[in-house]
Structure 1
Amino acid sequence: MATRRSVLGDAHVDRAEAAKTPFDEPFQTFITEGAWGSVWSRPHFTKRERSIVTLALLAGMGNFDEVAMHVRATANTGATRDDLIEAMLHVAVYCGVPKANHAIKIIKQTYAEMDGAA
């Protein structure tokens, strides 16, 4: 939970925890333990590197629902806008231009919101 909070921020995790129901509690436990407690807590990659990889994978697989959340998390992980455009170029080459294009649209919109311009 500490890693999840350090990446996503207390506000996001508090909202997720408050919205948890008996139905999705096993899933919330699974992602907290598996993704955050196991994978994101490993020492080899930095949180910045994990952010870049995560966003590239989300975009490359077309899992766009979590892109904005992970873009907002870059404020905590240190991944930069330059890092993300480089990652999206890789997505375009290896996974397809339409996927990268859609992810870039979400990334731009999220940065505009973060900058207070949206």
Structure 2
Amino acid sequence: MTDTSQTPAPQSAAQRLVGDIAPKLAELTDDVLFGDVWERQALAKRDRSLVTISALITSGAFEQLRSHLPIGRTNGLGREELVETIIHLAFYAGWPKAMSAIEVAREVFSAEPSREK
């Protein structure tokens, strides 16, 4: 007898976060934002991460920053570069946003497996 059951495909982060209440938003996030925009060749993913992280800090979107810092690390941004970005943004986005961002970075970095500081 053949087992016809299939293991469901793993859910994306967007599906896990908002798929239950806003499936279309999850779909657009997966297909357009990460499937199209992030795959464009004019900017390297490392650079896209730096731009995205800077925009999130500037807009005060710290919950999303929590998700994008690990993406930035995966895309080649070092801790020192990220901390320096936050310091730099203190003068452009405001001290309170930089202080909040550095706390998020501390939490994210402390949860990382041991690797480059």
Match for 1:77 among 75, 82, 89?
75
Alignment gaps of 5+ in structure 2: 1-9
Alignment gaps of 5+ in structure 1: 1-10
Deviates more, 1:99-108 or 1:28-37: 28-37
User: 1:17 corresponds to which letter in structure 2?
Assistant: Q
TM-align CA RMSD:
2.1
1:64 matched residue in structure 2: 62
Matched, 1:103 2:101: yes
2:92 matched residue in structure 1: 94
Summarize the alignment of residues 9-20 of structure 1 with structure 2, pairs less than 5 Å apart. Answer: 13=12, 16-17=14-15, 20=19
- Residue 86 of structure 1 and its aligned partner are, at CA, apart by 2.2
For the 8 Å contact 1:88–1:104, the answer to whether it is kept is: yes
Structure 1 residue runs of 4 or more that deviate by more than 6 Å after TM superposition:
none
- CA radius of gyration, larger in: 2
TM-score, L = length of structure 2: 0.76
Relative to structure 1, the CA distance from residue 18 to residue 111 in structure 2 (aligned partners, 3 Å threshold; closer, same or farther) is closer
Deviates more, 1:73-82 or 1:55-64: 73-82
2:110 and 2:11 mapped to 1: Cα distance?
Answer: 19
Relative to structure 1, the CA distance from residue 25 to residue 87 in structure 2 (aligned partners, 3 Å threshold; closer, same or farther) is same
Work out the number of aligned pairs and report it.
Answer: 104
Q: Percent identity?
A: 27
Structure with the bigger percentage of helix: 1
- Residue 32 of structure 1 and its aligned partner are, at CA, apart by 1.7
User: 1:99 corresponds to which letter in structure 2?
Assistant: K
Q: Secondary structure at the match of 2:65?
A: helix
User: 1:87 corresponds to which letter in structure 2?
Assistant: T
2:33 matched residue in structure 1: 35
